[in-house]
Structures are given as C-alpha cells and as structure tokens.
Structure 1
Amino acid sequence: MEGDTWHSYRFVTDSDGSPPFLMEPTNQAHELDVFKLAGFRQIGSYFSARVPLQQMRAPQPTRTDEFKIEIWDGKDAEGMFQQVYDLSAAAFANNPFYKAITRNAFMAMYMPIVPLIRKDLVLFARKPDGALTGFLFGIPNYAEAQTPKSVILKTYASLTKGAGRHLSHTFHTAAAKGGFQTAIHALIHDENLSALRSAAEGAEVFRRYGLFGLRLNG
C-alpha cells in the first residue's frame, strides 16, 4: 500500500484478459508471486464487473422527499471536488485500513483529470436544505478509445440510506442516454453493499483483486 487507500494498494488476482480500464490498478503476474513468497497473505477481496446498459435489471428506486439527485452543472470544478473531499472523508472514515489524506493532496490527485470529466456523470444527492448527503463520480473509459463505448462508475458514497441506489440508477440512465453501451462497476469490496447492487443490476465480474498483508512480529 502506498501509504493509504487513496493510492494503489491491490493486486490483480484473476482476470478475463480484457485490457485495463482508466485508473485501474495493474501489475505483472510475477509481482504478486514475490509478495506471496515473502509471506504476504490475502486479507481483502475486490472485483470489477461490467453490465450492458440496455440489459439493466434493477428497477427504478421509489421516489423520496429525503433528498434529491442533482447533475453537476460543470461549473467550479475546484469547488465540486472540495465537496467530494468532505463527504468522502466522512463516508469512508470507518472503512478498513482507511487513512485520511490532506485536502491539498486530494485536489492534486483529481484536478488534473477535470478535462476528462463529463458533467452528466457527476451526481450529487442533497437534503431539502441543500446539505450534501451523497455523490457519484463516473468517467468515460478513455483507456478504451478516444470515443469510448464503456463508462466507469468510479466512486460513490452516501450518508443517507437509499441515496446510493438513486445515484446509481441516475448514473446508468444518463450513461445510456449519452450513448455508452457498457457500464463498469469498478473496484468493489466483496462485502460492500455495492456488491449486492452490482449483482442485482446484472453485472458480470471480469476482474478480481486482493489486498495482501504481512503480520510483523514485535
């Protein structure tokens, strides 16, 4: 792990051989063998899955007055990522091995990719008073082609029950409307609620990853 879970910390453990998608961790097969020979053992399991957008099975979520879903207006990218940082810090704080990074470090990671962002794939869930309670960040899979046919559901988080389902549904609907054929559900922990949602939406796993650890004596 490069210091924290914001950077690369997983090995590919199984794959269908398809090319890596944008921002996906990669490694040579022998690199994992080196860690295993050094005594590292898998302590966490993750996967990525893909689903044809025209074959989505999940029904539309029940309407709610607890929050509303907004599409980013494309303005003030720095302010948008400032909000994402604040909510991420709150939503991910209890995740295993989570370690906070500074606001400046977060901004340095994400601001360079602003030119690649499509505003219709960045979503917010807001309470009636305007308070942010969830977000979803999607991006076209530019590793595939200059005009990609697949889109990546990179990250989403919420502080209110049900917001994640609404964000996901809105994302898939917007992606299909935008001409994408396939959605990639990226880097999901096997035990996360997102794993159940991905399966319910008909996504099929094409890559698996592992987090490996070594217990030190003393």
Structure 2
Amino acid sequence: MDRESGVGLLRAACERLRGQGCARAVAPLDGSTWFGYRWVVETSEEPPFLLEPRNPLEYAGWAREAGFTPWQTYRSTLHTAHVPDPRAAELEARFARLGLRHPVPRTLEADLRGIHALSNAAFVGNPLFSPLDWPAFEALYRPLLSKVPPEWVWVAEDGGRTVGFLLSLPDPTQPGTLIAKTLAIAPGREYAGLGRWLAECFYRQAFGAGFRRVIHALMWESNRSTNLQGHGRVIRRYALFAREL
C-alpha cells in the first residue's frame, strides 16, 4: 500500500464511522485488544521478535496525515543481565504464603481457567478493554501454552485462586532470547508488589538458565508494570492512534 491509498483508506473509514454516529476513531484495532493492535512508531537495530506487531514506519505518518494522533503508547525493552531487585528479600518474605509454580499437563485446564478469570479482572482498567469469554480465550491461549515450555510460565495462587501469572516464551527466531509477554496481578493492595516479585523470579531463572537476552514486550507506558523495565534498553515503541470525528 502506498501513501495516497493508506491516507485515503483511513479518511474513508472515518467518514463511514461518522455517518454511523461514532464520535471517535481508533487505529489500528483488530476487533479488540485481545488481538492485533498498535503500530510500531520507533525502532532500533534489533530485529523483530516473536508475536511483535510489524508494520512500515510510514504508517504512523499516514495516520497523522489523516488526522490521527498517538493516544496510547507502549514500548519493548531489552535486558542483557539480571540486576537483582533491592527489595527481593522483603518481597520473598511477603509472598512466601502464596503458591508459586509452573503449569503441568494435569493442571493445564484449571490453570487456563484461572488465568482467564484473572486476565478479565486485572486488565479491566486498560484502554479499550473488553472481557473475553471462556471459549474465545481458550481458543487463543491453549495452543500458545501447549507450545511454551512450562518452566517459562509462572502461576501464583492464594488459597487455590490464581492471583498472578507471568507468561514468557523463548524466541525461536533469536537463539538465547526469552520474551516476557504477559504479566497480570489480581487487583487490590494485598497483592501490591507481587508483579515485581514474579519479575525477579523470572529474571533470576532466565539468566541462570543461560539466556543472554530478555525482552520485556509491549508494555503500556501508563502501566506501573513498566517500572519492572528500569534496567532495560528501549528497542521499540508503539502507538495506538485516535481522532475525534
């Protein structure tokens, strides 16, 4: 697609939405944020990683020309060493009562259902969030989890209830690279700091297992979890664009 076609398509879509009574247009969005959204707006020499959005950088310029501006921003960071969390001992003691484990085949069904419930609760404050029902969630995540080595998925439980999870996966296109894809923690002050503790466990294990690179992927820049990326180098930035109609 060339510039003229891209800008024209966005403008035509906005006209159609305006005619249907819509007040705002958002791009790109493949139905909901459970599926493809965000455009790459800034990059580096680092190659694309598994499950990352891919688009020509020109798309952002075309969106601006069609009247869109960045509405929400995201980033991915690269870590090449484990920098121990100074609060690690405190966090370990605080969450010692929780069960922290990796899924195994006999627990996969229960783990999927726990992750589904937690995701719908934990992400409710994210822009454009909409709940995903169990059949759609299962169709999306079961194939993914079946391909991920279980030691790279963490589930935290409190009295049998899933209160945290971290999903990561090795990148087959970049040997020695591990991608931290999704981190979710149950709402409430009771679990404040659990995401930080899961990240510490993750980095310890990743670099201890010989991975040389960890990519903390596609984090919303308004989310407190971006604090977990403090020692990483930003390798990509993304944006979700919007315009009033």
> Aligned partners of 1:29, 1:80: CA distance in 2, in Å?
38
**1:144-168 deviations in whole A, cap 9, x for unaligned?**
2xxx201011111112211111111
3-state DSSP of counterpart to 1:137: strand
3-state DSSP of counterpart to 2:239: strand
Unpaired stretches in structure 1, ≥5 consecutive residues: none
What percentage of residue pairs aligned between the two structures are identical? 31
Name which of 21, 30, 36 aligns with 1:2.
Answer: 30
**1:125-176 deviations in whole A, cap 9, x for unaligned?**
222x2222111111111232xxx20101111111221111111111111112
1:203 corresponds in structure 2 to 232
- Rg (Cα) greater in structure: 2
Q: Does 1:105 align with 2:132?
A: no
Alignment of 1:52-71 (within 5 A): 52-53=80-81, 55-59=82-86, 60-62=88-90, 63-65=93-95, 67-71=97-101
> Aligned partners of 1:161, 1:67: CA distance in 2, in Å?
14
> Aligned partners of 1:92, 1:61: CA distance in 2, in Å?
28
- 4+ aligned runs moved over 6 Å, structure 1: none
Unpaired stretches in structure 2, ≥5 consecutive residues: 1-28
> Aligned partners of 2:79, 2:160: CA distance in 1, in Å?
32
Alignment of 1:39-118 (within 5 A): 39-53=67-81, 55-59=82-86, 60-62=88-90, 63-65=93-95, 67-76=97-106, 77-118=108-149
Q: Which amino acid in structure 2 is aligned with residue 150 of structure 1?
A: T
Name which of 176, 182, 185 aligns with 1:155.
Answer: 182
Cα distance change, pair 210–73 in 1 and its aligned pair in 2 (3 A): closer
1:140 corresponds in structure 2 to 170
**1:41-72 deviations in whole A, cap 9, x for unaligned?**
1011110001113x424232411157425221
Cα distance change, pair 168–64 in 1 and its aligned pair in 2 (3 A): same
Q: Is the 8 A contact 1:61 1:169 kept in 2?
A: no
Deviates more, 1:107-116 or 1:188-197: 107-116
3-state DSSP of counterpart to 1:134: strand
Q: Which amino acid in structure 2 is aligned with residue 179 of structure 1?
A: G
Deviates more, 1:74-83 or 1:88-97: 74-83
> Aligned partners of 1:114, 1:194: CA distance in 2, in Å?
22
Q: Does 1:20 align with 2:48?
A: yes
1:184 corresponds in structure 2 to 215
TM-score scaled to structure 2, two decimals? Answer: 0.79
Q: Which amino acid in structure 1 is aligned with residue 42 of structure 2?
A: D
CA RMSD of aligned residues (A): 1.7
TM-score scaled to structure 1, two decimals? Answer: 0.88
Deviation of 1:103 (Å): 1.5
Q: Is the 8 A contact 1:71 1:121 kept in 2?
A: no
Q: Is the 8 A contact 1:67 1:163 kept in 2?
A: no
Q: Is the 8 A contact 2:77 2:232 kept in 1?
A: yes
